[in-house]
Structure 1
Amino acid sequence: MKLGSLVAITVAVVLAFAAPLAAQERGGALKVALFPEPPMAVAGLSGLGSASIVSSKIYEALVKFDFELRPQPWLASSWEKSDDGLIWTFDLVENAKWHDGKPFTAADVVASYQVFSVENDRLKLVADKVKKVEATSEHQVRFTLKESIPSFIYMLNYGSLPIIPAHLYTGGNFRENPANSTPIGTGAFYIKEWKKGSFIHLARFNEYRDGTKPYLDDLYFVIIPDAQGCAVAFEEGSVDVVSASNLEGFDVSRLASLDGVKSTTKGWEMLAPHAFLWINTQKAPLDDVKLRQALNYGLDKNFIRDVVFAGLATPPRGAFDSRTLFFDPSVNAYEFDVEKAKALVAASTYKGELLKLSTAPVGSAWARLAEYEVQAWKEIGLNVEIDTNDVGGYLKKLGERNYDLGNIYLYQYGDPAVGVTRNFYSRNDVIGSPWNNVGRYSNPRLDELLAKADAVGDAGDRAALYAQAQKIIADDAVQGWTAELQFPTLYRAKVRDLITTALGLSDSFENVWIEK
């Protein structure tokens, strides 16, 4: 079959991802504040953002994405797709090695797909549309689809298909594999030491590609479990990099103004963190749409932006983040309206029952958000109390659907077929998963619209279908939408080329260097 080129890897593209010519300096250690501490560093085993920040230095994916969400080479050096969109062929880099010295080959990509098409909640959404994945040579892999998948290239992002070694993960239970105790990747760094509750030390992988990168010798993720501690550590110089997600909002501008400090809002284009409230729609009285609408009208999104997140947020308009493809700004945004909320409560089946708001201790802003929500809902006649859990306990409650309301934020991954629609398909209400359709929403008409929108090739048709879907989701108040989060990254001016792709802190750090 004749293949039409999707991408040509040119000198200009390569230079766009390289540090300034003749400027890089080899050596040094970079210290990054991190919280919460991830349970492990094997790619694909945890949905926590902090886990991705660490594991993306150890493992890699086929592609990464620039700030305009255009795919760029990583373990794939180039790729093509057929004219009908059913065959994708990836040429792989030929000089990559696993940290145990074995060569990286196409067999590793095939094995990784076999694992994550089952284990990854996003990738398995398209697994039944993939006919086969095969190694056509030692350094070429081919995906043959049963039908066109417009978002396919986005499905290959690091969060959905990280590449793991076939010689350690072929067959058996991925999550119980003994290899998980010693992460082995192709990334620029490997784990040297992990002192629980204190730090994770990654060291330079000297056999990475041709040996010229990475520039850093050591990378430390310093575990700091509170915002004040992060602020003090950054101000004193104990850490070089901190995300605003680990700081109090009022500290962000103060720290960013310090001498020798830089900040950037880039690096969230792919992830687009979107904060919302899971609502257990199958549990009375939350199965009443009027009550769910009241929950939304009762929240002042501007207050949440200004006070809870200290301005580091944008009021959302429903389930699609404004940074995500096919966002429709015309949907009902549930502007703050106490009287309307009260009227909806009175008209609903709610009879004063105690509702529990589940939270996890992942930062003071989230504690403030829960406290505000409880007070705001009290004003409209609802009896809500906070149910505090550790991170593991919170995710367990979501996975078991043993909750009423639960604050969370999830990444949207550029295309709604990858990071948004997974939350609303009725078939995704799978007990055990704390990530997809935890709200237990079921609507055959919405399922039909999303299935069509996720599959149709024409962008205009996709936009029209997603617009209809967004209206249904908004009108049915499937979730409670709270904020489009903005997390500036603060770093020492001596740290160069820190944020260079849409993955931000979840990129490889192979190009990061420290000016001496």
Structure 2
Amino acid sequence: MIHFMNISRRKFLGAAGAATAIGLAPKLGFAQTPKSGGDLVIAINGASTANSLDPRTFNSPYMAVLSGSVFSTLVEVDGPKAALQPGLALDWQESQNGLVWTFDLAPNAKFHDGRPVRSADVIFSLMSHIEEGSRSNSRAIIKAVDKIEADGDHRIVVTLKAPNYYFPASLSNYSLGIVPEGTTEFTGIGSGPYRVTNFVPGEILETERFDDYFKSGKAHVDTVTILAANDPSARINAIQSGQAHIAGNLDARAVTLLEALPTVDLVFQSGMGFAGFNMMLDRAPFDNALLRRAMKYAIDREDLIQRIYGGHARLGNDTPVPPDAGEYAAGVTQITYDPDRARDLFKQSGHSGPIVLQTSPAAGAAAVDAATLFREHASRAGIEIEVKREPADGYWGKIWAQTPFHGTIWGARPTVDMIMTVAYSSSSPANDTAFKNPEFDAALQVARGAPDAEERLQASHLAQRILNENGGAIIPAFQDTPEGVSKQLAGYVTGTMAIGSLHAAENVWFV
């Protein structure tokens, strides 16, 4: 385990990459000299008519890809090993044993309206995530901040409430895009490679290259269009027909079809991303621990991996940490399919009658089919699941984290600490199972802030055990998600998040 002490940005980049070595090597790279020009079209799911250009509201694959095209975060994630790279912050330095972090900002960065990006803009943007009423999925990240101070126009000093050796990685979260100080009307003014020319929520985003983008050698295509393609077949059709040059979150069962397409390269997004099922702990019937445990034993994970993901997945154990991650708690007993045990636990729970499972293609290309297969597995334990397919539009606002039992999907994060904090800490609005456990929160704090690396690792293992035994997440697998990339493109690098770690727009060019 790597010891993050007195860590500079350069040291951190290598360390973070090694700690999260859980991806596949890119199949498309930078073998040619980039060319300028052309109109890039991306098809991705997760769009809604309720979407807004306020980064604090971003919580779906569509808005994450939009964020990577229009906005800039302080830190970025790149490649199959989730290596940290400079974003608006060119460098960062830790002091006081992970309690204080200094970030040096790009002096040439500008917003799309021509204003320079200053320390004041960064402070305003970050602190807005903890304003009263904020539902940002970055709220728990910024709530750990004691204060942020400007040291001139291009440096900020962040003092945390407690040490966190992984804090820079947290600032790569796609909802932490920087906007101008004082912004109240969110029209898409960011400092990313492309600026908004048209946005119809739930339908389309159209952008043009921002000529004053602060990164040199990036943003090769003239325009980027992001199509809302919530239906899995729509994404397949878009890449198959040539309507889109990149299509993400494709159905694994279409791999054979995609491999046969002469105009498309098939790549796999691999990492800590997962689709699963949420049991909400703060409401009936899943405020019943015995019922939750029964459901965990009622799903055949190995069968799901083969029949839903075509074998392109790794076994899950109801924590967001895959078995090939460096921090994986191998000592936590793997939950396996056991209909008899599930039946006994279900009887002990006292629950009777069917359990409604609400899901949608918004929660993954195979979400509805996975739920249907879960119903088949559970029936052998005498547990009746009623699968209710919901429309993709509005799913993230009306169903996800709102109803007792529903489908979910999470993109990968660069560190275990980040996904555990955002998805399961008590203070996070994105805690989609309403899991609130003081012992878990305390373990997370040690896992991110203890000076000794081994102590941090053991605390992470404890947090995983607590979540496995007490949580409401059923995470059967970590899928290697197919993506289709047109052979007309070069420069595409697969990552642990969709569409080239959200940054394909600035990296690719037409050959």
TM-score range, shorter chain: 0.7 to 0.9
Change (3 A) 1:122 1:153: farther
- 5 Å matches for 1:6-85? 6-8=8-10, 20=30, 23-38=33-48, 39-67=51-79, 68-82=81-95, 84-85=97-98
What CA deviation, in whole Å up to 9, does each residue of 1:233-259 have, x standing for no partner?
32222211112x2x3323223213322
Pick from 443, 450, 460 the counterpart of residue 456 of structure 1. Answer: 450
Q: Distance in 2 between matches of 1:343 and 1:279?
A: 19
Contact 1:318 1:331 in 2 (8 A): no
SS at match of 1:137: coil
1:97-156 deviations in whole A, cap 9, x for unaligned? 111111111111111111124446554335454332122112112112343112211121
In the aligned structure 2, how far is the partner of 1:34 from the partner of 1:425? 28
Which residue of 233, 236, 260 corresponds with 2:238? 233
Written as runs of structure 1 = structure 2, the 5 A alignment for 1:113-192 is: 113-118=126-131, 119=134, 121=136, 123-166=138-181, 168-169=182-183, 177=184, 179-180=185-186, 182-192=187-197
Say if 1:479 and 1:357 are closer, same or farther in 2 by CA, change over 3 A. same
Highest RCO, 1 vs 2 (Cα 8 Å, sep ≥ 6): 2
- The letter for the 2-side match of 1:159 is Y
Match of 1:259 among 242, 258, 262: 262
Deviations 1:367-406 (A, max 9, x none): 11122222322221223222333346543455774x2211
Q: Deviations over 1:439-492 (max 9, x none)?
A: 333444334333333432322112112222222322335322222122132212
Q: Scaled by the length of structure 1, what TM-score is found?
A: 0.85
Given the alignment of the two structures, is residue 292 of structure 1 paired with residue 305 of structure 2, yes or no?
no
Higher mean Cα deviation, 307-316 or 206-215? 206-215
Counterparts in 2 of 1:69-468, with a 5 A limit?
A: 69-82=82-95, 84-118=97-131, 119=134, 121=136, 123-166=138-181, 168-169=182-183, 177=184, 179-180=185-186, 182-195=187-200, 198-209=203-214, 213-243=218-248, 245=249, 247-266=250-269, 268-269=270-271, 272-322=272-322, 324=325, 326-350=327-351, 352-362=352-362, 365-391=366-392, 393-397=394-398, 401=402, 403-428=403-428, 433=429, 435-436=430-431, 438-468=432-462
Matched residue of 1:78: which SS?
A: strand
**Alignment of 1:490 onto 2:457:** no
Distance 1:80 1:501, change over 3 A: farther
| Count of aligned residue pairs for this structure pair | 484
Distance of 2:141 and 2:239 partners within structure 1: 42
Q: Distance in 2 between matches of 1:197 and 1:126?
A: 28
**TM-score in terms of structure 2 length:** 0.86
CA distance in 1, matches of 2:459, 2:294: 27
Distance 1:305 1:450 in 2: 29
What's the offset of the Cα at 1:72? 1.4
Matched, 1:474 2:486: no
Q: Deviations over 1:310-342 (max 9, x none)?
A: 333222022132165522133232211222222
Question: Once the 2 structures are TM-superposed, how far is the Cα of residue 49 of structure 1 from its aligned partner?
Answer: 1.3
CA–CA separation in structure 1 for the residues paired with 2:229 and 2:146: 45
Rounded to whole Å, the distance in 2 between the matches of 1:399 and 1:104 is: 35
Q: Contact 1:325–1:414 at 8 Å: present in 2 too?
A: no
Aligned residue type for 1:316: G
Please state how far the C-alpha of 1:284 moved relative to its aligned partner: 4.2
How far apart, in 2, do the equivalents of 1:21 and 1:286 lie?
Answer: 52
Amino acid corresponding to residue 247 of structure 2 in structure 1: V
Larger Rg: 1
User: What corresponds to 1:174 in structure 2?
Assistant: none
SS of the equivalent of 2:97 reads: coil
Cα separation, partners in 2 of 1:361 and 1:336, compared to 1, 3 Å: same
| Cα 1:85/1:231, change in 2 over 3 Å | closer
Q: 1:514 and 2:510 equivalent?
A: yes
Unaligned residue ranges in structure 2 (runs of 5+): 15-25
Number of the residue aligned with 1:173: none
8 Å Cα contact 1:281-1:287 kept in structure 2: yes
In the TM superposition, what is the alpha-carbon distance from 1:300 to its structure 2 partner? Answer: 0.9
Instruction: Give the distance between the partners of 1:311 and 1:317, measured in 2 at CA.
Output: 17
Displacement of 1:83 in angstroms is: 5.1
Name the amino acid aligned to 1:32.
Answer: I
Give the residue type in structure 2 aligned to 1:449: A
The amino acid across from 2:83 in the alignment is R
1:193 is paired with a residue whose SS is strand
Amino acid in structure 1 at the alignment position of 2:37: G
Counterpart residue identity of residue 277, structure 1:
F
Unaligned runs of 5+ in 1: 170-176
